[in-house]
Structure 1
Amino acid sequence: MSATRLARAAKPFGRSLTCLNSSGKQRFSTSAIPRTSTSGSSEQPRQASVWSYSGVMAVAATAGLFGWGMSEFRHGSLPKTMLFDSLYAYPRYASMHEMEQALREIRQEIGGAEDIISTDPDDLHAHGYSEWSTSNPEGLPVAVTYPRSTEQVSTIARICHKYRVPIIPYSGGSSLEGNFSAPFGGISVDFAYMDRIVQFNKNDMDVVVQPSIGWQDLNEQLAKMESGLFFPIDPGPSAKIGGMIGTNCSGTNAVKYGTMKDWVINLTVVLADGTVIKTRRRPRKSSAGYNLNGLFVGSEGTLGLVTEATLKLAVIPEEFSVAVVTFPSIRDAASAAAEVMQTGIPVAAMEIMDEVQMKVVNMGGATAPRVWKEMPTLFFKFSGTKAGVRENIGLVQKITKANKGSNFEFAKDAREQKLLWSARKESLWSMLALRKEGEEVWSTDVAVPFSRLADIIEVSKKEMDELGLFASILGHIGDGNFHESIIYNRRDKAEVKKVEACVKNMVKRALEMEGTCTGEHSIGWGKKESLLWEVGEDTLGVMRAIKMALDPNWIMNPGKIFDRQS
């Protein structure tokens, strides 16, 4: 439901915005809640909304309830005769009255001194709809909570568990598969105020952080402390640690440093009933019991809410160098990348961008006045000792030349290195800036073994070009992971259908090549069918059993990864 449609639906409900204070009276204004941008900075508070609390609650709850029924109907989980008469039984979530009571109890237990709850329509929309995701089921959260501590998150979870209110975690909001959508309504838990470094252990090369600190902000603070250390996992610029843990993301540095799961030492997690656990202690290795880190990393908040994480840090390399090399075809570029990996050359990062993406870089002007050739291109980052960097550059140059690559073009200084790499990392945002009225960007990813990389990229590129749309391929080719990004008109049903078919073909192709339906975006709402294709019903059954054991009421980010079975 768009903000316009939501506003239109709520007009009859009144003009004064109130909420529940510590005495249970509806007297809470949202005007004091700062808006947190994707970079983590706070904007000035807005004027209080003119909506009534009951009006917003009614519209959001109705949207959530209807969205749940329709989503289950569309996915085949409900027969037509069950669409409305079994909503409360499968599964039974809180009624309108129970949601109001849950919010009242949250306010009473946490106290009225802090602006902990928002029912502002803009907040609800921002926490249930993503402009850069094509996976946006109908439905919005009924309220957004802004906890400041693990204890407050525990209180929220315990009360939501009592009343069966869905809980949806939210940190950076940059996910691409509808990971933070609210198809069943419920409460969004926004960690915007939990964005601090809790403890820095320089000698142990680790750091304890809260979930809403961005990886870039973390590295900036480590640099200001002159620590000589950094956190190497680098997805999109606006990503926060909580979301990075939830999706087991990676980024451009994955070829050298691995993915998020490789850098988590331990987690503090609030379970569905409010119980607080710690997955491990602080040593970098342990064989004590089950690997709970592996269970919660990548679970997208469906098993618990991460409120603190202890992360490993790496030493900042002595030398960096960034270069690009162009190729006559996308297959030549992919073949060169596969050979670099098969040869075992320790590049720090290796990215691929087709001619369309290179055009986007030039149009964006991020590296102006320098203009890059609009051809299939590999980006290389080299790091290490000065001698090691020189040696690795020479080895890679030989491989790229043998695969029809041009001469290396190096960034001339540290500033241009940063600009060039930023242009690569902000490619999705650059494409979003090119949209016209009614257009969206469908961006999704797969990963395959190195030996099949050139095959899948060549075929996928050909199919995308045949769409006749502004479409491109890019990705972390060093670990077999690449993305398709397609601009399409969401109002043109035929266009949407053919783009959807193209994306599904890419996924099926990857699975046929023993790959995965998602290398780093995770499953969310959008790729549940793909997950079934990949692992099968028996494996999904094991996942459901784990979720049922930890979340028997199915309130933790419901509708993500897989659906509940009757």
Structure 2
Amino acid sequence: MNDEYQFLVDRLGQRQVSTTEETLTEHSGDWATLSEWITPEPVEPGVVVYPETTEDVVTVLKTATERAIPVTPYAAGTSLEGNPVPVDGGISMNLTRMDTVRSVRPDDFQIDVEPGVMGPAIQEAAGSHGLFFPPLPSSGDISTIGGMIANSASGMQTVKYGEVADWVRELEVVLADGSVITTGSKAPKTSAGYNLRDLFVGSEGTLGVVTRATLELAGRPEQKRGGRAIFDTLSDATAAVMDIVSSGVDVAKVELMDTQSARISNAYTGASLPNVPMIFLEFHADHSIADEIAFCRAVVESHDPQAFEIAGEERMAELWEARTELAYALSEYDPERQPLHAGDVTVPISEYGPTIEYAKRQAEETDLLVPCFGHAGDGNVHYAILVNGDDKAEIERGKEVYADLVERAIAVGGTATGEHGIGRGKRQYLVEEHGEHAVETMRAVKQALDPTGTLNPGKIFPDGSD
């Protein structure tokens, strides 16, 4: 053990501290490590600690701050912008051992959890009371709630239920100096003071470490149906999406796949989807779900679909596999071409179709493969740019297309990232999206809560300074 970190063993014990090469290497990256653009030279932490209680987190942060050692919170490592990757070594704080569901209060529709609890554990605990946590992202089965809160995550059901942030009621947070604060309230609403709860949601571990969260739950819908609509053209598909949303159809999921995405998914899953644009739909209701489906069918049919197909609940998993497996399918599709990086811009719903059409024009002009898909119902465009890693010119073209798409999204009133966060990968767009004064205000908040720059340095801000 490096003498610099012996204090951690003295306070936590050897079982909660590791410096093995395997552990340090694992904590030097996340899913974004696959992109050398985001993490060109991964930096290993000097040590990994595994707190098991709030008191452990207090100990680590207080003593690290006193010694000017950076601390990078880490959870499941499923981030896509290098959010939990250390840039200055120091301590990687792995919170996955804080994985207890503390209580479920069905009368209040609430659950108290520690940050290392993963999506399935929340759903299981809530499900025993006929409840569920609606906003889990697509990676919810392998992601922690602490990571979802830190990253302001969202998923396929955002169009009906909103983001994870909308379901957070109260947070216990440890600040860089070891102080413990409680933000928010277990009450349905509060107007007492500044809304510090929402300040920490989406802060990517740069302002404090969440050690407990109270989440709101919802009753499980009695009826659930899903299906798909198939179109001849991408413009028909995106126009149908806009019409579904603007018409007020009560739909839980609206996901789009373009022709390339369908082809890639077929190759990976062995499915036999038609290689044409399509939208996937899911409906949740306690009664009269047939009426809502009929409403949606009428809206969709005004856009000349090839087909509008609804399946029973028993076939829904099969239908959704094409969409849920797409992230893995992209990496397996062409051995010579890998995704440059995962894009996730979000735009006003009226700009959803034009944004995808712009992406396809850019792909054609640069001779690149740019499949587009995503959470269409809330304007979230996911895209991948497949490039040959040995072709520097192709990589540069891919980077230019990626930047063009982000900049266009911001220009039409959207955001550089709908759910992946800023991390290291999108720092250069922060001022363009929010303006210099707003970013300086963010820096002031960071300075006030973490004056020594202990927490997750090198993230969010454009030049990497805190």
TM-score (norm 2): 0.94
Structure 1 residues 464, 195: closer, same or farther in 2, change over 3 A? farther
2:393 aligned with 1:494, yes or no? yes
Residue 514 of structure 1 aligns with which residue? 413
Structure 1 residues 565, 300: closer, same or farther in 2, change over 3 A? closer
Structure 2: segments with no counterpart, 5+ residues: none
Q: What amino acid does structure 1 have at the position aligned with 2:383?
A: E
Residue 106 of structure 1 aligns with which residue? 8
Residue 185 of structure 1 aligns with which residue? 89
Q: How many angstroms apart in 2 are the aligned matches of 1:129 and 1:565? A: 20
Picking from 431, 434, 446, the partner of 2:333 is 434
- Please tell me whether the aligned partners of residues 136 and 164 of structure 2 are also in contact (alpha carbons under 8 angstroms): no
2:132 aligned with 1:230, yes or no? yes
User: Comparing both structures, which one devotes a greater share of its residues to strand?
Assistant: 2
Q: Which moved more, 1:397-406 or 1:140-149?
A: 397-406
Deviation, 1:490, is: 3.0
Residue 410 of structure 1 aligns with which residue? 310
Deviation, 1:380, is: 0.6
- Please tell me whether the aligned partners of residues 339 and 384 of structure 2 are also in contact (alpha carbons under 8 angstroms): no
Structure 1 residues 344, 228: closer, same or farther in 2, change over 3 A? same
Picking from 136, 152, 173, the partner of 2:39 is 136
Deviation, 1:467, is: 4.0
Deviation, 1:428, is: 0.8
- Please tell me whether the aligned partners of residues 110 and 217 of structure 2 are also in contact (alpha carbons under 8 angstroms): yes
Q: How many angstroms apart in 2 are the aligned matches of 1:188 and 1:555? A: 12
Picking from 254, 258, 262, the partner of 1:350 is 254
Q: How many angstroms apart in 2 are the aligned matches of 1:140 and 1:435? A: 30
Identity between Structure 1 and Structure 2 (%): 37
Residue 165 of structure 1 aligns with which residue? 69
Deviation, 1:326, is: 1.3
1:395-406 maps to which residues of 2 (within 5 A)? 395-406=295-306
Deviation, 1:469, is: 3.9
- Please tell me whether the aligned partners of residues 29 and 77 of structure 2 are also in contact (alpha carbons under 8 angstroms): no
Structure 1: segments with no counterpart, 5+ residues: 1-18, 20-53, 55-99
Residue 30 of structure 1 aligns with which residue? none
Q: How many angstroms apart in 2 are the aligned matches of 1:400 and 1:394? A: 10
Give SS of 1:290's match: coil
Residue 453 of structure 1 aligns with which residue? 352
Question: Deviation above 6 Å: which 4+ runs of structure 1?
Answer: none
Deviation, 1:536, is: 1.4
2:438 aligned with 1:539, yes or no? yes
Residue 273 of structure 2 aligns with which residue? 372
Give the aligned CA root-mean-square deviation in angstroms: 1.8
Structure 1 residues 187, 435: closer, same or farther in 2, change over 3 A? farther
- Please tell me whether the aligned partners of residues 334 and 453 of structure 1 are also in contact (alpha carbons under 8 angstroms): yes
Q: What amino acid does structure 2 have at the position aligned with 1:558?
A: P
Give SS of 1:356's match: helix
Q: How many angstroms apart in 1 are the aligned matches of 2:170 and 2:80? A: 26
- Please tell me whether the aligned partners of residues 266 and 322 of structure 2 are also in contact (alpha carbons under 8 angstroms): no
Deviation, 1:219, is: 0.9
- Please tell me whether the aligned partners of residues 438 and 491 of structure 1 are also in contact (alpha carbons under 8 angstroms): no
1:257-406 maps to which residues of 2 (within 5 A)? 257-365=161-269, 371-387=272-288, 389-406=289-306
Q: How many angstroms apart in 1 are the aligned matches of 2:241 and 2:465? A: 43
Q: How many angstroms apart in 2 are the aligned matches of 1:241 and 1:437? A: 35
1:17-47 C-alpha deviation (Å, 9 max, x unpaired): xx3xxxxxxxxxxxxxxxxxxxxxxxxxxxx
1:53-202 maps to which residues of 2 (within 5 A)? 100-101=3-4, 103-112=5-14, 115-133=15-33, 134=35, 135-138=38-41, 139-202=43-106
Residue 253 of structure 1 aligns with which residue? 157
Q: What amino acid does structure 1 have at the position aligned with 2:276?
A: M
Deviation, 1:123, is: 1.7
- Please tell me whether the aligned partners of residues 70 and 88 of structure 2 are also in contact (alpha carbons under 8 angstroms): yes
Q: How many angstroms apart in 2 are the aligned matches of 1:153 and 1:435? A: 44
Deviation, 1:484, is: 0.8
Deviation, 1:466, is: 4.1
Q: How many angstroms apart in 1 are the aligned matches of 2:241 and 2:67? A: 53
Structure 1 residues 540, 457: closer, same or farther in 2, change over 3 A? same
Q: How many angstroms apart in 2 are the aligned matches of 1:438 and 1:364? A: 15
1:235-271 C-alpha deviation (Å, 9 max, x unpaired): 1332221111011111000000111110000111111
Select the structure of larger CA radius of gyration: 1
Aligned length: 459
Higher relative contact order (CA 8 A, sep 6+): 2
Q: How many angstroms apart in 1 are the aligned matches of 2:277 and 2:464? A: 43
1:532-556 C-alpha deviation (Å, 9 max, x unpaired): 1111111100000000000011121
Structure 1 residues 462, 234: closer, same or farther in 2, change over 3 A? farther
Deviation, 1:362, is: 1.9
TM-score (norm 1): 0.78
Deviation, 1:519, is: 0.9
